[in-house]
Amino acid sequence: MPPPTQSGSKSTSLAAQADNTKVPTLSDSELTSNVSKRSKRRKEEIGESEMLAFKSEILCMFGEFEKKQQQYFLSLQSLIEQIKEQNAKL
């Protein structure tokens, strides 16, 4: 088992090496650029998904409109037939 002073000096040596090591970092402009690009991409993704949801909603509403339009048309045809029948009886 090594004496405590050797272990202590080894960790001190490692700490000194760590202090002298340069960690690569991005400049502020690089960070800003990366964040800006990521933000733009995210906005586009959200925008695209919201647009697809909106289109889907519009198509659904249009489908409901067509159903109601068909129902009104059938009701109108039925009323026309009833009026014709009543006019024929007179």
The pair of three-digit structure tokens given for residue 33, joined into one six-digit string:
């650029």
Provide the H-helix boundaries in 1-90: 4-20, 28-89
**Burial (CB count <10 Å: 0-12, 13-18, 19+), residue 79:** exposed
* Cα-to-chain-centroid distance, residue 77: 46
pTM for the complete prediction? 0.40
- Regarding predicted confidence, which is higher, 53 or 5? 53
Residue 61's pLDDT band (cuts 50, 70, 90): confident
Rounded to whole angstroms, the Cα distance separating 23 from 15 reads 14
The pair of three-digit structure tokens given for residue 19, joined into one six-digit string:
């202090």
